[in-house]
Structure 1
C-alpha cells in the first residue's frame, strides 16, 4: 500500500509509472480470479439478515465467491445475455446481490436499480437499458420489492426473464416456518418467465462456460437519480471499476482489513468505491441486513457488530454518523482504524463529535456516478482539512473552469478561485458517459474533462473544496433529488404562477427540499393546501418539500428565470435563526453572503450575551459556514 498523505505523495505515485504501464487486471473476472487465487480460504463477504450481534450470519470465502459468481455468469449466458446485453437487479442487500453484480458484469452489462423508486421510474430504467433479465426478491414479509418488480416488468416488455431470490433461506426454524404463511401475495400481470435464482444458479458449473474476453468494455449501467421521468443512465467500463479497485487496495485496504458497509449495493459508493476495493485487496466485506443502515436495529447494534467482526474500516454517510452519535459506543471498537464518509458534505461539529466518541478519524471523499465514482479524499496518512474533500487521487486531473453550455472553456481558474469542477481519470468515459447521446452534449471540457456541475476551488496545497452546485440538484442524505419534479407539480396548481425548489440546510440529512411559490394575481391558497397538493402528486417521498413558503414575488434573473441563490440565502437565514432560537442563543443571521472561497456564508450578530463556542456547536451541525459580524 502507498503512504498517501499529501499532493506530494500523490504526485510521486504518478511519477513512478503511468496508469497504462501498471500491471493490473483488465476485466471484472480477472480481478476476482486474481484475488481468489491469492486468498482462496480467506473470508470475502459476511451477511446477516437481522442485526443482532449474535444472530446467524453467512460468510463466503474468496474461492466460493469466484465459484458462485461464475455460476451466476453462466446462468445469465444461458438466458441469452451476451457482452452487450443487460442484467438488471432490483434487490436489497444479501450475498446473492453480490453474485448478481459480479455475474452480470462478467457475462454482460449489470444494471443495479434503486428499489425505493416507484414502478414508473423502475420500468423507465428497464426500458432505457433494454434489460432482458431482472433479478429481484421473491415476495417476503414487510417488503414490497417483489410487488414493485412485478408492476415494473409489466411496463417493460423487453424483460423476458425474472429471477427471484427468497430471503427465507437466511432464517432458521421457527421463523422460517412462518414466512410461507405470512408471505404477501404478488399478482403478476407481465409475460416474463419467473424462475428461482438460487435453484437455477446451483445447476451451473463453478467455472466459466465461456471465454472471458480480455478487453475493456462497458460492464455496468448506473442511474443517476430517478426523481422525474426516465433518469440519466451512466455507462461504466471495466477500466473505471479496476481504477476504483486499485485506488482502494493501494491507498486504503489490504487483505487484513475488515470493512463494514451497510450501504445499498445499487449505489456507486458501495459498489465501485468499496466492493471493488475489497475485491482487489482481498479484504473482508461485512454488510448487515437487507436495508443496511436503514435495517431494524442496525444503529442500536452497530458498535457490537464492529466488535463481532473486528472491523477495521467503517463505511458511512453523514446521516448515519448523526444517528450513531445519538447512541453510546457500547462495545469494544479498538479494532477500528478509520471511517470513510461520502455521498454528502460532513458538518464540522458532527466530525468532531464522532472523533471524540470513538477516537477514530473520518476520511471524507468525493465522487460521482458519471466518473465511476472516486475523485478525491482527505489523505488517510496526512492532514485532513475538515470541510474539504481532500486531494485528487493519482491519475485524476482536476481543473477549475468556467465553460459555456457547449463545454467551450471560457476561463481556467487559478488557486482559490471558484469555478466548475471538471475532471479526467480512468473512470471517466469521455464523450459517452450517458446511454442517451443527447445527454452527453456539452458535458465535457477540452473533450476529456467531465463537467461535474459542482462549484469548487483548489487551494495552495492541492486540496479540493466544494462551494456549491452549478446544477440545482438537492442532495438529501446522499440521495439526489431533481427540483424539477417539485416545481412541475406545484406549478400545476391553479393558484401558482412560479415555483423555485431548493435544498434547505438540515443537521441530519445535509439538505431537505423546500419550495418558494409566487401566486397568480388575485389567487388565494394556503401553504397547507399546497403541501396537501404536493403529497398527492409527488411520487417520491424523499422529494416532498419540508417547507413551502409563499412570496409576493420570487427573485428572478433579467430573462425571467427564478434566481435560486437568493432563495438559498433566505432558507439558510430561516433555518439558522430557528436553530439559534431553539437553542436559546441571543444571536441571529443578519445576512448571507456569497464568499468566493467558501460559497454561501451566514453572518451573525449577537443581540445579548452569547457563548460563541456553544453557537459554533449549534451551527456546526450544518454544512454551510458562518461568521460573526463586528
Structure 2
C-alpha cells in the first residue's frame, strides 16, 4: 500500500518523485469529515486545538483533543441535521474566530455546506451572500462575543433571512449565558446548549462524498459585491494534503493560526492540513492579527507553546519585525509562511534579520482552493513565489489571448497570464439554487480544466513562478500595457517609503497615465521628491508616475490584500475635478468604486443652464469614465 505522505518534500527536485505516484493512489481521505474522523481514530488523546480567549489571556487557553473535537463536531452536525440541513443546504457562519466557530465550520461541512461570511461586509452584501448560498441556518457571534455582529444577525433573522439563528459564546466562557430574544418563526438559541442533547459518537445524517460541495467562500473586495466560489471536498482535502506534504514540518510541529475563518487560508492551511497531519494548532483570540496585545506578547506565545510555523500576510511580518524578542526562546519556529499579497523584499529582510526565522513564500487564490505554489527553505529564487505544488500545473499564456486558452504556454521568461489546472481548481461561482441544488458557473474563469487566475507572471527555466502584477491592474497608456509593480518596486526602494500602490488615472490623450499612492515613515519627504525618485528608478520612462500622493494608510481587504479600486476612484475624482474647475456651476465631483469598476457623479447647481450641462458632458467624455450628471433641485443643501 502506498504511503499517504512522500518520504521527502523540501527541495524542488522532490516534485518528480512525488508525482510518480498518482494522488488517487495515496489513500487521501475523501472528505473533510473523513479527515476529522481519521484524526480522532489515530490520535484520540493528542491535543488538536489550543484556543486563546484573547491575546492578553494567552496563558488561559481552551484545549481540545482530536477525539473531543470529533465528538463536538458530531453533536453540532446532528443539531444542523435536526434543523433540516441536508447535503446541499448551507449553514452561514458570521463570527470572529473562537473555539465554537472551529467546531461549527467543520460541522457545517459534515451536515451540508459551510458558508463563512466576513462580518466587516456591509449588511446588504451579507444579506445577498445569504441569499446566494441559500443558507437558512445562521451561526453568529453571540452578544458576549461581538455585540454589533449579534445585532446584525438579529436583524437578518427578524427580516426573514433565516429560519434558525444560533449564537456562539466566547472561548472559555463560563457562567450562565445572557438570555436571547425570541424572533417569531425563527429558532433562536446558543449552539452549545442546543447541541448538547445530540449524540457525539457519529453523524446521524448522510455523510458527504468527495464530489459534494463542502463550502462556498466569498471572494472579492470589501465594497464591490463579492462572488461565492464553491469548493468540493476533493478541492479542500487535496490542497490540505499538498500543504501537509511539506516535510519541513512534521506531525509534532505546532502551528499558529490567527487569520479569520472566513478566509480560505485559515480553513485549509491552519485547520484542515494540521487535522490531516495530526498537528496541534494554537488559535489566537477573536481579533487575530488585529489585536495589538498579540504583537506585544507574540514571542512569549511562540516560546510557551513551542510554535514551529505560522501563516500570515506581509503586513503582519512587517509589524513583527519591530517587536523585540526580549530574550524569548523562539528556536522552535522553523519557518513562517507568507502569502495573500506580494512580499516586499524590505519586509523579508527586516523580519529575518530581527528574528532569524526564514519566510517561506507561497501563492494561491480562492478559485484554486487556497495554495498552488510554494517556496523552499534551502533553495531561494529571488523574486519568485516558488514552484507549483504536486498534482497542480501552471502555464503562462499571452495576455491578449487568454480567451483562446492557447494549447501551449509561453516560453520561459515571457510574461503572460497565469493559468492553473489540477484537483484544487474550483467548479465555479454560485449563481443561485433551486430544489435540485446549486447552479454553478465558472463564468469563463475555467476552460478545459485551466483556471485563469487574472495574475500576470512568468516561469523561469527551473519552473519557478514569478508574479508581475494583476491583469486587471495593468495601466494601459496609449495602448501600451504597463505593470504597476514596476512603479511600486521603484518607490519601495526609497528609504522613507513603507508601502506603495500604483493605478491608472484617466487621461484624455493616452487613455490612462500612471499615478502612485504611498505611505511613508518620514513625513518630511515631499511628493515631488518621491515622483522624481520613481522617475529615476523605473525600468521604462513611460511608467514614470505623473503624481505620487502620500496617504496615512493604503487600502487593504479584510485579509490584508492590496485593494486598488478606492485609489482608482480617487485618481478619477481628481482628474475630473481639475478638468471642470473653471465651470462655476459644478457643485461637486465624486467618484466611487462599485462592483469592480469606478463610476463618477458630477453635481451641478440648480441654476446651471443646458449649455453648462452639455459642456460638462463634453469634457467628461474626453476621459471615457462612466459618469452621471445630476442637477440640484431648488432648495437642496
Relative to 1, partners in 2 of residues 1:54 and 1:136: Cα closer, same or farther, differing over 3 Å?
A: closer
Q: CA separation in 2, counterparts of 1:582 and 1:329?
A: 35
Superposed counterparts of 1:346-495, under 5 Å = 346-380=343-377, 382-402=378-398, 407-410=403-406, 412-430=409-427, 432-435=428-431, 440-445=442-447, 447-472=448-473
Q: What's 2:307 paired with?
A: 311
Check the 8 A contact 1:347/1:387 in 2, yes or no. no
Question: How far did 1:55 drift?
Answer: 3.4
Q: CA separation in 2, counterparts of 1:273 and 1:473?
A: 30
Q: What's 1:270 paired with?
A: 266
Q: CA separation in 2, counterparts of 1:473 and 1:31?
A: 41
More deviation, 135-144/104-113: 135-144
Q: CA separation in 2, counterparts of 1:87 and 1:151?
A: 17
Check the 8 A contact 1:70/1:208 in 2, yes or no. yes
Structure 1 SS opposite 2:271: helix
Q: What's 1:219 paired with?
A: 214
Q: What's 1:201 paired with?
A: 195
Query: Is the aligned partner of 1:238 residue 2:233?
Result: yes
Q: CA separation in 1, counterparts of 2:498 and 2:272?
A: 27
Query: Is the aligned partner of 1:589 residue 2:534?
Result: yes
Check the 8 A contact 1:406/1:442 in 2, yes or no. no
Question: How far did 1:586 drift?
Answer: 13
Question: How far did 1:347 drift?
Answer: 0.9
Structure 2 SS opposite 1:590: helix
Structure 2 SS opposite 1:52: helix
Q: CA separation in 1, counterparts of 2:118 and 2:419?
A: 27
Question: How far did 1:188 drift?
Answer: 8.2
Query: Is the aligned partner of 1:333 residue 2:361?
Result: no
Check the 8 A contact 2:249/2:308 in 1, yes or no. no
The unaligned stretches of length 5 or more in structure 2 are: 1-5, 433-438, 476-483, 546-560, 563-637
Question: How far did 1:440 drift?
Answer: 2.4
Q: CA separation in 1, counterparts of 2:341 and 2:359?
A: 13
Check the 8 A contact 1:86/1:109 in 2, yes or no. yes
Relative to 1, partners in 2 of residues 1:409 and 1:100: Cα closer, same or farther, differing over 3 Å?
A: same
Over the aligned positions, Cα root-mean-square deviation in angstroms equals: 3.6
Among 135, 138, 151, the alignment partner of 2:139 is 135
Q: CA separation in 2, counterparts of 1:579 and 1:122?
A: 42
Relative to 1, partners in 2 of residues 1:326 and 1:34: Cα closer, same or farther, differing over 3 Å?
A: same
Q: CA separation in 1, counterparts of 2:130 and 2:532?
A: 52
The unaligned stretches of length 5 or more in structure 1 are: 475-501, 519-552, 558-562, 603-621, 624-630
Question: How far did 1:163 drift?
Answer: 0.4
Q: CA separation in 2, counterparts of 1:151 and 1:391?
A: 47
Q: What's 2:590 paired with?
A: none
Check the 8 A contact 2:417/2:452 in 1, yes or no. yes
TM-score (norm 1): 0.75
Q: CA separation in 2, counterparts of 1:588 and 1:406?
A: 35
Question: How far did 1:219 drift?
Answer: 1.0
Check the 8 A contact 2:156/2:162 in 1, yes or no. no
More deviation, 212-221/189-198: 189-198
Query: Is the aligned partner of 1:23 residue 2:27?
Result: yes
Question: How far did 1:231 drift?
Answer: 1.5
Cα deviations by residue, 1:274-328 (Å, 9 ceiling, x for unpaired): 2111010010111111111112401111111111111111222111111112220
Q: CA separation in 2, counterparts of 1:579 and 1:443?
A: 46
Q: What's 1:115 paired with?
A: 119
TM-score (norm 2): 0.74
Check the 8 A contact 1:260/1:311 in 2, yes or no. yes
Structure 2 SS opposite 1:412: coil
More deviation, 135-144/295-304: 135-144
Relative to 1, partners in 2 of residues 1:509 and 1:392: Cα closer, same or farther, differing over 3 Å?
A: farther
Query: Is the aligned partner of 1:36 residue 2:40?
Result: yes
Query: Is the aligned partner of 1:76 residue 2:77?
Result: no
More deviation, 248-257/128-137: 248-257
Among 149, 155, 165, the alignment partner of 2:168 is 165
Structure 2 SS opposite 1:227: coil
More deviation, 244-253/256-265: 244-253
Relative to 1, partners in 2 of residues 1:141 and 1:201: Cα closer, same or farther, differing over 3 Å?
A: closer
Question: How far did 1:247 drift?
Answer: 1.4
Q: What's 2:15 paired with?
A: 10
Q: CA separation in 1, counterparts of 2:470 and 2:224?
A: 22
Question: How far did 1:588 drift?
Answer: 2.0
Check the 8 A contact 2:498/2:518 in 1, yes or no. no
Superposed counterparts of 1:477-516, under 5 Å = 516=505
Question: How far did 1:572 drift?
Answer: 6.5
Query: Is the aligned partner of 1:56 residue 2:53?
Result: no
Query: Is the aligned partner of 1:151 residue 2:155?
Result: yes
Q: CA separation in 1, counterparts of 2:166 and 2:452?
A: 38
Question: How far did 1:591 drift?
Answer: 5.2
Question: How far did 1:24 drift?
Answer: 1.2
More deviation, 84-93/249-258: 249-258
More deviation, 26-35/222-231: 222-231
Relative to 1, partners in 2 of residues 1:40 and 1:582: Cα closer, same or farther, differing over 3 Å?
A: farther
Cα deviations by residue, 1:560-604 (Å, 9 ceiling, x for unpaired): xxx3xx32xx21699899896699999723257567xxx9799xx
Check the 8 A contact 2:374/2:385 in 1, yes or no. yes
Question: How far did 1:394 drift?
Answer: 0.6
Q: CA separation in 2, counterparts of 1:511 and 1:268?
A: 26
